[in-house]
Amino acid sequence: NAGVTQTPKFQVLKTGQSMTLQCAQDMNHEYMSWYRQDPGMGLRLIHYSVGAGITDQGEVPNGYNVSRSTTEDFPLRLLSAAPSQTSVYFCASRTSITGELFFGEGSRLTVL
Amino acid sequence: KNQVEQSPQSLIILEGKNCTLQCNYTVSPFSNLRWYKQDTGRGPVSLTIMTFSENTKSNGRYTATLDADTKQSSLHITASQLSDSASYICVVKSSGSQGNLIFGKGTKLSVKP
């Protein structure tokens, strides 16, 4: 049972480069979300989706794009990376009823 | 404003000792409260969920309490082990239309031999 799978686990970018963090879940959860985790800041919501074709902004959406073409996949795109986007990114999915989040293992991104 | 505050920010204890982590929240309307454990370099994993009607719930050596009147929760760890070293995150779910999740910043626990 894979749960939530994120790739890549580590990535180094130069300022201005673009990249996509991939996220897939096999639990048929409607709700998926992306968080970033920075020291002393806790987990902050970037974007979320309540179902295929539906996305919305979270607390810190600037500099990030998302799309949800299928229930399983929820990629996060950085169009022009900035050093302020250096962080650990977590994808999560959850049931709508209990709200238990199932997290991926995280993607550590460094922007030089 | 909906907020979740955790204390202490960090804690160091000796193996075998007990400890208690605190979570205070101002989320309204309240749906449930979860404690997550996050090992270093891993994603958080749910330990326990507390609903409005529950006062105490145990999961092995972990016992969570909830006082809905004072809007406080605690996570008590009994007979700590080295593997308990992790960050513990309190997350409160509101029962509004979007079912928003409000995160605490976590308590970093270090268990020393």
What are the tokens at A75?
């990629």
Q: Is the pLDDT of residue A109 over 90?
A: yes
Residue B1 confidence (pLDDT): 81
In chain A, whose CA is at the least distance from the CA of B6? Answer: A42
pLDDT band at A1 (very low <50, low <70, confident <90, very high): low
What are the tokens at B33?
């409260």
Which chain A residues are within 8 Å of B33, Cβ to Cβ?
Answer: none
d(CA A18, CA A51): 25
DSSP E strands, chain B: 4-7, 10-14, 19-25, 30-38, 45-51, 56-59, 62-67, 72-77, 86-94, 101-103, 107-112
Over the stretch A56-79, which tens digit does the pLDDT of each residue have? Answer: 999 999 999 999 999 999 999 999
- The Cα of B16 is separated from the nearest Cα of chain A by a number of Å equal to 28
d(CA A27, CA A17): 32
Over the stretch B45-63, which tens digit does the pLDDT of each residue have? Answer: 999 999 988 899 999 999 9
Please report, as a single letter, which amino acid is at residue A32.
M
Residue written as token pair 């309307």: B29
Touching check for A39 and chain B: CB below 8 Å?
Answer: no
Touching check for B78 and chain A: CB below 8 Å?
Answer: no
- The Cα of B5 is separated from the nearest Cα of chain A by a number of Å equal to 11
Q: Is the pLDDT of residue B97 over 60?
A: no
What letter does residue B20 receive in the DSSP assignment? Answer: E
Which chain B residues are within 8 Å of A97, Cβ to Cβ?
Answer: none
Touching check for B99 and chain A: CB below 8 Å?
Answer: yes
